[in-house]
């Protein structure tokens, strides 16, 4: 079933690595923005009234920076305008420096049942270098408020000066605090972000060093009962992110809010990245879409294969044939032959071997060219 993504573009301070659409200096516009978001929910709800949605995800920015009454209001509007499945997964991203007992109580009242907490690292000096507004102690406090809840923690690799001991402390902290899910991903220094200067100066770990950190972190997570289900995502059994699994299965989703992307009815479309333009469009009753394209069949085939091979579940020959009427091994015959040593077969399932999943991008390049 499809999912719903809502973008909350406000934050207290822009992190040094962030190239997402976020506005640390426009929090005063939160009320006006959320009013427009409620209106877009209504507009899209009418267009998609025949669909049932299984997940809702509040991302950002920092959704937990705004008054929680707006999250509550957004959920009420979603429940009014969209048809949700029974027991939907409803996630909100939170920065540990912006959380309170009252906020979490209202989130839960709104129906939120999964929390994504941005830890990144347990080393305060590294957090400061990243421009994060929280400390490791703030993370512990947040986890205390979430005791017994389903929450995930983000862990970042490739930080300036990061050691295996630092990573051990980070994973140990997340695990001991009760995280059911851990996303462990490599820092990507994007051009135009402050941290890109560190990258240009050679101050960040190189690819081989990040790979070593990943392998070490993977082993630590496995020891603690976190099973890898996608290259950067690990969970206790039964606590995989349903929202993200829908992305990797090439499921449909609607994105609401400034810069939000969607995939529905064979089309990919993206809302404007400009906050003022977004609000003007919605208030005028127009969809705030600035980019839209129909996904051609050959591109769809590659997307299906690429997303499936990112996961431990692999690609199902039966499901591929059901979707496209052909055999993926024939459609990508040259690439399949070249990458055979990295793959393993089980029934109609083909997956990347465990030891090669981290370098799946290099493997998938063959299919992009093929």
Q: What is the rounded average pLDDT of the residues 156-164?
A: 92
Pairing status of strand 52-60 against strand 83-94: parallel
**One domain, residues 200 and 347:** no
pLDDT band at 155 (very low <50, low <70, confident <90, very high): very high
Q: How many CA atoms does the CB half-sphere of 304 hold within 13 Å?
A: 25
Phi, psi of 14 (to 5 degrees): -75, 125
Using the predicted structure, report yes or no on whether residue 81 has a pLDDT greater than 80.
Answer: yes
Contact 67/110 with Cβ under 8 angstroms? no
Examine residue 267 and state whether it is found in any structural domain, yes or no: no
Report the percent of the chain where pLDDT is more than 70: 95
Please count the residues of the chain. 370
The CA distance from 47 to 84, in Å, is: 15
Contact 342/315 with Cβ under 8 angstroms? no
The CA distance from 18 to 130, in Å, is: 9
The reported pTM is 0.93
153: tokens are 């923690």
**One domain, residues 107 and 217:** yes
The residue among 198, 230, 247 that closes a domain is 247
Ordered DSSP codes for 235-295:
ESTT---HHHHHHHTT--EEEESTT-EEEETTEEEEE-S-HHHHHHHHHTT---EEEEEE-
Total number of domains in the chain: 2
Q: What is the rounded average pLDDT of the residues 322-334?
A: 95
Q: What is the rounded average pLDDT of the residues 342-364?
A: 92
At residue 80, the 3 state secondary structure works out as: helix
Helix 360-369 to helix 297-309 angle (10° resolution) is 160
Q: What is the pLDDT of residues 12-57, one digit of tens each?
A: 766 666 667 777 778 889 999 999 999 999 999 999 999 999 999 9
Q: What is the pLDDT of residues 168-196, one digit of tens each?
A: 999 999 999 999 999 999 887 677 676 67
Using the predicted structure, report yes or no on whether residue 300 has a pLDDT greater than 80.
Answer: yes
**One domain, residues 206 and 324:** no
pLDDT computed for residue 19 by the predictor: 64
**One domain, residues 230 and 341:** no
pLDDT computed for residue 199 by the predictor: 67
Q: What is the rounded average pLDDT of the residues 90-106?
A: 95
Domain extent for 188: 3-247
Ordered DSSP codes for 139-161:
HHHHHHHTTTS-EEEEEEES-TT
- Distance, first Cα to last Cα, the chain: 30
Tell me what the pLDDT averaged over the chain comes to: 92
The CA distance from 120 to 11, in Å, is: 16
CATH code at 197? 3.20.20.70
Which residues have CB under 8 Å from 210's CB, separation 6+? 157, 158, 186
Examine residue 101 and state whether it is found in any structural domain, yes or no: yes
pLDDT computed for residue 197 by the predictor: 72
**One domain, residues 65 and 145:** yes
Q: What is the rounded average pLDDT of the residues 183-210?
A: 78
359: tokens are 């370098």
**One domain, residues 81 and 224:** yes
The residue among 247, 281, 303 that closes a domain is 247
**One domain, residues 49 and 170:** yes
DSSP state of 323: H
**One domain, residues 207 and 356:** no
Q: What is the pLDDT of residues 116-153, one digit of tens each?
A: 999 999 999 989 888 788 899 999 999 999 999 999 99
């Amino acid at each position: 079933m499809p999912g719903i993504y809502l973008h909350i573009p406000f934050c207290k301070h822009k992190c040094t690595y962030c190239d997402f659409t976020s506005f640390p200096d426009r929090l005063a516009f939160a009320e006006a923005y959320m009013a427009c978001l409620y209106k877009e929910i209504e507009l899209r709800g009418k267009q998609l009234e025949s669909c049932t949605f299984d997940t809702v995800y509040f991302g950002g920015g920092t959704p937990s920076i705004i008054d929680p009454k707006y999250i509550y209001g957004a959920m009420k509007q979603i429940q009014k305008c969209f048809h949700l499945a029974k027991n939907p997964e409803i996630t909100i991203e939170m920065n540990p420096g912006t959380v309170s007992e009252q906020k979490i109580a209202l989130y839960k009242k709104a129906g939120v049942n999964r929390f994504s907490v941005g830890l990144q690292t347990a080393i305060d000096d590294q957090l400061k270098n990243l421009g994060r507004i929280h400390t490791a102690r703030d993370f512990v406090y947040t986890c205390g408020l979430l005791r017994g809840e389903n929450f995930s923690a983000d862990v970042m690799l490739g930080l300036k000066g990061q050691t295996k001991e630092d990573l051990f402390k980070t994973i140990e902290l997340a695990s001991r605090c009760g995280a059911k899910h851990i996303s462990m991903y490599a820092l990507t220094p994007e051009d135009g972000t402050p941290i890109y200067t560190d990258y240009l100066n050679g101050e960040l770990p190189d690819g081989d060093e990040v790979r070593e950190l990943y392998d070490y972190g993977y082993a630590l997570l496995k020891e603690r009962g976190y099973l890898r289900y996608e290259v950067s995502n690990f969970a206790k059994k039964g606590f995989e992110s349903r929202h993200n699994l829908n992305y990797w299965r090439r499921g449909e989703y609607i994105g609401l809010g400034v810069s939000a992307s969607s995939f529905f009815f064979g089309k990919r479309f993206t809302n404007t990245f400009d906050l003022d333009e977004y609000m003007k469009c919605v208030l005028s009753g127009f969809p705030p879409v600035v980019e839209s394209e129909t996904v051609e069949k050959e591109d769809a085939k590659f997307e299906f294969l690429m997303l499936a091979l990112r996961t431990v579940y692999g690609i199902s020959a039966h499901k591929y044939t059901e979707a496209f009427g052909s055999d993926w091994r024939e459609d990508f015959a040259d690439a399949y032959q070249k990458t055979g040593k990295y793959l393993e077969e089980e029934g109609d399932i083909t997956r990347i071997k465990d030891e090669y999943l981290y370098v799946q991008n290099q493997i998938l390049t063959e299919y992009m060219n093929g």
